[in-house]
């Protein structure tokens, strides 16, 4: 799914109107989709307080108020009575609700929420481009303090569609955001996404030709894209068809990391899987994952990384940073020119030695925010970090997977794919090790590297969602979502 900027969304609205749909009809359609979702998710005896601005977002709110009233809900609408100069389409819908005696229209200052009604925010839409005024800040702070469900229409008031906000910004805290046709980038970054609650994308039938033709560097990974990428197994295949994965890592006391990487590579479908680890992990690895072949390197830490032909390497989980291990990794990268997957201590070693130039082209690195900072320097926020990642991905010709609540895949062509699977239950040690194994396995199975990154991150998150459903976010373990990888494949094959 494409992510369009606020200016591109305006162009898309205009292109839709040029095809013969009037702007008021487009507003009506958007409001109807919102009203239908609300009807499906709230009880009929629920009352609603709808806060409307003067622009088209307010017009959506007026139309939603009318439609919910017609469905039998109790509705109050709140406006700024000192400034009732509405946009043209908002004016049309305001006149319609003004003619309905059962809908009460009040000033913002008259809100007291004595009936615990659901609050709907239709104050500003995606077009907000300035800081809120003092009066609106006070209103939003008041609404945020009331313990009732809160819904934003299109985007929570106070957020910008495409950029970060100041740390002390006042933003409406939504439980649900009903947005139109596209995700906004601000939904997908931690500083801003925390205000959005659950994102509901409503298709309002904007012009498909325009959407197909418009260029963007930002995308959300959806299931349509995954189904285009996923390659079901053919019947006439053998283990060589599905590649050779070599997972490199582990050190004394950290053998679980490379065990989970090796196991996830197998579960993802690797035809042949090898684990290079120190001898102290032999019994652990061979007893826990007999399907993976063991190659010893050193006694308690790795001191050599053997190069094999026609294999894909995933290096880093539990690796440690012993001097001998650092030397082994750097020597390997000096002599190995095919793409590799690098994570954890492999990244830390490269950062400490300032040897980023050794990363082979088209390789994949998977840093969390602190690892990214060690590699490339500090960023003020996640938006700046993403811009820096785009610059470095192009400069080094590598794929950077920025791990976060919504992990972002950055390509050498500076495209960004945001992932929306996964959950906070995956915020446990070992989760990244699982991802390393998944990515290594998919690349070894001859998935295009960009597609392997997209599919791998989605698969990792989806397995985590299945594990959370089975065990809870609190109790689930990385090994649980390794074991749910098979369930995800079954899901894709239904």
- Determine whether the annotation assigns residue 222 to a binding site: no
- Classify 462 as helix, strand or coil: helix
- Determine whether the annotation assigns residue 130 to a binding site: yes
DSSP per position, 89-134: HHHHHHHHHHT-TTSEEEEGGG---TT-PEEEEES--TT--SPPPH
- Determine whether the annotation assigns residue 131 to a binding site: yes
- Determine whether the annotation assigns residue 318 to a binding site: yes
Q: Are the C-beta atoms of 73 and 44 separated by less than 8 Å?
A: yes
- Determine whether the annotation assigns residue 405 to a binding site: yes
Phi and psi of 476, rounded to 5°?
-65, 150
Which letter, b or e, does each residue of 350-373 get, where b requires 16 or more Cβ atoms within 10 Å of its Cβ? bbeeeebebbbebbbbbbbeebbe
- Determine whether the annotation assigns residue 113 to a binding site: no
The whole-angstrom separation of Cα 2 and Cα 11 is 14
Q: Which residues contact 432 (CB under 8 A, 6 or more apart)?
A: 317, 343, 344, 366, 368, 403
- Determine whether the annotation assigns residue 406 to a binding site: yes
- Determine whether the annotation assigns residue 198 to a binding site: no
- Determine whether the annotation assigns residue 433 to a binding site: yes
Name the strands in the sheet holding 118-122, side by side, starting at the edge strand that comes first in the sequence.
104-107, 74-79, 47-52, 118-122, 150-153, 176-180, 198-202
Phi and psi of 67, rounded to 5°?
-65, -40
Which tokens in the block code for residue 322? 């012993």
Q: Are the C-beta atoms of 305 and 311 separated by less than 8 Å?
A: no
- Determine whether the annotation assigns residue 238 to a binding site: no
- Determine whether the annotation assigns residue 395 to a binding site: no
- Determine whether the annotation assigns residue 128 to a binding site: yes
- Determine whether the annotation assigns residue 217 to a binding site: no
- Determine whether the annotation assigns residue 90 to a binding site: no
- Determine whether the annotation assigns residue 404 to a binding site: yes
Q: Are the C-beta atoms of 409 and 460 separated by less than 8 Å?
A: no
- Determine whether the annotation assigns residue 368 to a binding site: yes
Q: Are the C-beta atoms of 38 and 202 separated by less than 8 Å?
A: no
| Start-end of H helices in 369-448 | 369-376, 382-396, 431-444
Beta bridge partners of 201: 179
- Determine whether the annotation assigns residue 345 to a binding site: no
Binding annotation for (6S)-NADPHX: 56-60, 125-131, 154, 257, 318, 368, 433
Binding annotation for AMP: 403-407, 432
Binding annotation for K(+): 57, 121, 157
Binding annotation: 56-60, 121, 125-131, 154, 157, 257, 318, 368, 403-407, 432-433
């Amino acid at each position: 799914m494409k992510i369009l900027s606020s200016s591109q969304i305006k162009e898309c609205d205009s292109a839709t109107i040029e095809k013969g749909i009037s702007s008021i009809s487009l507003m009506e359609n958007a409001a109807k989709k919102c009203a239908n979702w609300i009807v499906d998710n709230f009880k009929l005896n629920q009352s609603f307080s709808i806060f409307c601005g003067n622009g088209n977002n307010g017009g959506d709110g007026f139309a939603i108020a009318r439609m919910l009233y017609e469905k039998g809900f109790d509705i109050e609408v709140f406006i700024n009575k000192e400034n009732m100069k509405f946009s043209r389409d908002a004016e049309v819908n305001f006149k319609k609700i003004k003619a309905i005696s059962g809908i009460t229209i009040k000033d913002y200052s008259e809100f007291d929420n004595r009936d615990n009604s659901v609050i709907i925010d239709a104050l500003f839409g995606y077009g907000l481009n300035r800081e809120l005024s003092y009066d609106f800040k006070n209103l939003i702070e008041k609404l945020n303090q009331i313990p009732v469900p809160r819904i934003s229409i299109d985007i929570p008031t106070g957020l910008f569609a495409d950029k970060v906000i100041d740390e002390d910004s006042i933003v409406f805290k939504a439980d649900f955001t009903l947005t139109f046709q596209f995700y906004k980038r601000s939904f997908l970054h931690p500083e801003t996404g925390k205000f959005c609650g659950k994102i509901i994308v409503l298709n309002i039938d904007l012009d498909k030709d325009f959407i197909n033709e418009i260029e963007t560097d930002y995308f959300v990974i959806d299931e349509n894209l995954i189904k285009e990428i996923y390659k079901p197994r053919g019947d006439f295949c053998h283990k060589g068809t599905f590649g050779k994965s070599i997972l490199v890592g582990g050190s004394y006391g950290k053998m679980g990391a490379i065990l989970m990487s090796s196991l996830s590579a197998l579960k993802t479908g690797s035809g042949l899987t090898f684990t290079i680890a120190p001898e102290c992990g032999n019994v652990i690895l061979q007893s826990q994952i007999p399907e993976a072949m063991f190659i010893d390197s050193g006694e308690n830490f790795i001191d050599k990384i053997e190069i094999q032909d026609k294999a894909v390497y995933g290096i880093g989980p539990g690796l440690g940073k012993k001097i001998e291990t650092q030397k082994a990794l750097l020597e390997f990268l000096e002599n190995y020119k095919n793409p590799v997957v690098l994570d954890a201590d492999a990244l830390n070693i490269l950062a400490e030695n300032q040897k980023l130039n050794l990363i082979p082209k088209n390789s994949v690195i998977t840093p969390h925010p602190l690892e990214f900072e060690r590699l490339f320097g500090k960023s003020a926020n996640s938006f700046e970090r993403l811009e820096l990642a785009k610059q470095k991905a192009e400069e080094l010709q590598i794929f950077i997977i920025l791990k976060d609540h919504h992990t972002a895949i950055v390509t050498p062509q500076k495209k960004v794919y945001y992932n929306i699977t996964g959950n906070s239950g995956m915020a446990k040690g070992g989760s990244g090790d699982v991802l390393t194994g998944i990515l290594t396995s998919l690349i070894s199975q001859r998935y295009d590297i960009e597609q392997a990154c997209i599919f791998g991150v989605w698969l990792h998150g989806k397995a985590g969602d299945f594990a959370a459903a089975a065990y809870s976010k609190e109790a689930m373990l990385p090994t649980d979502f390794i074991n749910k990888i098979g369930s995800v494949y079954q899901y894709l094959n239904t």
